[in-house]
Amino acid sequence: MKKIFKYTLITFLALLAISCNDEWLTPKPLSIFVPESIYIDKAGMDAVLLTMRKNLRHDFYGAANELTNELITSDLCVAGNKQTSATHNFFTQVMPTGTGQYNFFTHWDVGYNQIRNANVVISRIDAPEWSSEQDKNEILAEAYFHRAYWYYRLVHQFGDVPFLNKEYTEPKIDFYTHSRKTILNKIQSDMEFAVQWLPEAVDPGKVNRAAGNHLLAKVYLANSDFDGAISAASAAIDDGIHSLMTNRFGKYAGDDKYNIIWDLHQKENKSLAENKEALLVCQDKYGYPDAEAGGGTTSMRNYAPLWWHRIYLKDADGKAACTDARGDQQVITWGRGVGYARPSNYVNYEVWENCKADLRHDTVVNWMPMEKLLHNNPESAYYGQPVTKDYTNPIDTFQSWFPWPYYKIYIEDEERPDQPYGGHSDWYVFRLAETYLLRAEAYVWKGDMASAASDINKIRERALAPPVESSDVSIEYILDERTRELYTEEPRKCELTRIAFIMADNNMNGYSIDNFDQDNYWFDRVQDKNNFYNVGYTWGSNEFKIGAFHVLWPVPQDVIDDNQGGTINQNTGYPGVENNIPPKTEITEED
């Protein structure tokens, strides 16, 4: 008993002695994840860049994704969903207080989240002890690239927006809008620095110098610097590393059933070292720890029609022509589409008139015409025969019957193999075919149609399409060729809006920046080529309607309201524009 008391007393006195020194209360964890312990070397900075590389996927992955929004706000598509929430009528459904099922505000959120990430690197670039100026400037160059990439998108979606020039480490509610031209000038300067330091050769998913020059060419075009655009595009085209793919390669190279256009767009081939056309490819592979949540691309869901629904396509006896029975070979082959982006007749037919042997519209393996669809409902007397279309039934005609580029959107779905939506795959952000078209566009603005035709024909020759004559080249032809080459890849609304701004900035074709919201090329092109908007066509409960001021989307109202110490402008045509003030025309260190 005495021993127990003795040891207890010793323990108590020891604890009492320790308690007199409060250092023991201070936690000493093995590591603390705060900025000062992370952004101290190249590896820490590269971790932020890795997040931004992964987040490039936002545009291309998931159902009714950001790329879908770009397509339905252009000459190419409309929202295929029949639901009331689907965005059909821009006058009633695209408002500052909210948008329909195709939520345009995600572009604002994604863009600014990425810009904030880039600013962490830019603001802290001098914090590490760099082993070389090359290492430092490579990191800074890629951060500039990501910030420029998203600002290029934002100014062609929303117009004048706030420019965030640094990392903010505490709440800030006094932002001001900067003019589109001010932002373009800033990102042009940043990218002119970046292309000097971005590495020429990188691992897949990282940003190389050619991708930097590709983006810089777009920015030069937006600034009406057509010589600069030609120079930047040429730097990517002539770098000795990249080239258009003209010979068979990759997984299917030994199968004569397929062709080079098929090879170019297969998921196994996009990031191959032998694919010299890929400039920037976002990475997503099934089973990877960082695989995109929600099933990957859902490309077949977005861009293929809803052909399989029992109440839609009917046989002559009124029975369902098709079903989505699990494991049905036709379902596995064509995918369980719903047509989130329903293409216009311009995409389906007009742009392919007189296409001849163009592989991009080859109906043997690349392009899916509905005439290849078979009755797969065992209850139908027409089982196994080709499905015919009822042109008098708007449901049949609209959402369930249109062709699609099978070679681009067929992606094996490992998560839903029996009823595929379109699975995990790498995806092109930039490829050299578009670089040629950017340079061709710059030549057109300069009036050099021969050089423009030469660049266009590089792409057409690869596709076995007949060459275009220089006398037939125009901005309209450039847009047609972009449709043939880049449908389901390019952010069409941004590119069309950029061209509309070029015309207005330079007072071309009767357009002016002074009344841009009332009269612009974007709207005229949509009216001319998209056969759904403004013709009285109603799908579900909403009529397809769009106006000239929808060339720019509304700034989210909650962003404006929460910014109590400053002024973020609303775009003309939307409620709240009366509170606008002139946008800032200078970017300072404090912005």
Q: Are 59 and 66 in contact (CB under 8 A)?
A: yes
The DSSP secondary structure of 356-374, one letter per residue, reads TT-GGG-TTTTSB-GGG-B
Cα 211 to Cα 200: distance, rounded to the nearest angstrom: 9
Cα 587 to Cα 185: distance, rounded to the nearest angstrom: 10
CA distances from 360 to 183, 337, 351, 481 (A): 37, 21, 11, 11
- Which residues are CB-neighbours of 588 under 8 A, at least 6 positions away? 165
| Torsional class of 130: left (φ above 0), alpha (ψ -120 to 50), beta (otherwise) | beta
Distance of CA 433 to the CA centre of its chain: 16
The phi and psi torsions of 151 (rounded to 5 degrees) equal: -70, -35
390: DSSP letter = -
CA distances from 461 to 144, 342, 479, 480 (A): 35, 29, 18, 16
199: which 2 tokens?
């590495």
Helix boundaries (H) for 25-128: 35-38, 42-55, 66-72, 90-93, 105-123
CA distances from 451 to 93, 439, 454, 459, 470 (A): 43, 9, 5, 13, 8
Cα 470 to Cα 453: distance, rounded to the nearest angstrom: 5
Closest CA to 308 of 327, 335, 348: 335
Cα 87 to Cα 103: distance, rounded to the nearest angstrom: 9
Q: Are 245 and 436 in contact (CB under 8 A)?
A: no
Q: State the sign of the Cα–Cα–Cα–Cα dihedral 430, 67, 110, 266.
A: negative
183: which 2 tokens?
């932002």
Cα 212 to Cα 227: distance, rounded to the nearest angstrom: 17
Cα 390 to Cα 214: distance, rounded to the nearest angstrom: 45
- Which residues are CB-neighbours of 284 under 8 A, at least 6 positions away? 57, 61, 290, 291, 292, 296, 297, 424, 425, 426, 427
Cα 127 to Cα 241: distance, rounded to the nearest angstrom: 34
- Whole-angstrom Cα Rg for the chain: 27
| Torsional class of 356: left (φ above 0), alpha (ψ -120 to 50), beta (otherwise) | left
Q: How many CB atoms lie within 10 A of CB 361?
A: 19
What is the DSSP pairing of strand 538-539 with strand 427-431? unpaired
Amino acid making up residue 442:
A
- Which residues are CB-neighbours of 19 under 8 A, at least 6 positions away? none
Q: Which residues of 119-145 are buried (b: 16+ CB within 10 A; e: fewer)?
A: bbbbbbbebbebeeeebbbbbbbbbbb
* Helices 492-505 and 133-157, axial angle in degrees (round to 10): 80
431's enclosing H/E stretch is strand 427-431
Closest CA to 96 of 581, 573, 575, 580: 575
Closest CA to 122 of 183, 61, 52, 178: 52
| Rounded to 5°, angle at Cα 362 from 361 and 363 | 105
Q: Are 67 and 299 in contact (CB under 8 A)?
A: no
For 542, counting Cβ atoms within 10 Å of its Cβ (0-12 exposed, 13-18 middle, 19+ buried), the class is: buried
- Please report the pLDDT score of residue 316 as a whole number: 85
Amino acid making up residue 346:
Y
- Please report the pLDDT score of residue 37 as a whole number: 57
- Please report the pLDDT score of residue 17 as a whole number: 38
Amino acid making up residue 53:
R
584: DSSP letter = B
The phi and psi torsions of 458 (rounded to 5 degrees) equal: -60, -40
513: DSSP letter = G
Distance of CA 513 to the CA centre of its chain: 26
Q: Are 383 and 376 in contact (CB under 8 A)?
A: yes
Q: State the sign of the Cα–Cα–Cα–Cα dihedral 341, 345, 348, 351.
A: negative
Find residue 341's DSSP bridge partners: 79
335: which 2 tokens?
């995918």
Residue found by looking up tokens 């927006």 in the block: 161
pLDDT means over runs of 10, the chain (591 residues): 34 35 40 56 91 92 90 96 90 89 88 96 94 96 98 98 95 96 98 98 96 98 98 98 98 96 98 98 88 81 92 84 93 94 96 96 95 93 88 71 95 93 96 98 98 98 98 98 98 98 98 98 98 90 95 97 97 97 94 77
- Please report the pLDDT score of residue 25 as a whole number: 37
- Please report the pLDDT score of residue 51 as a whole number: 93
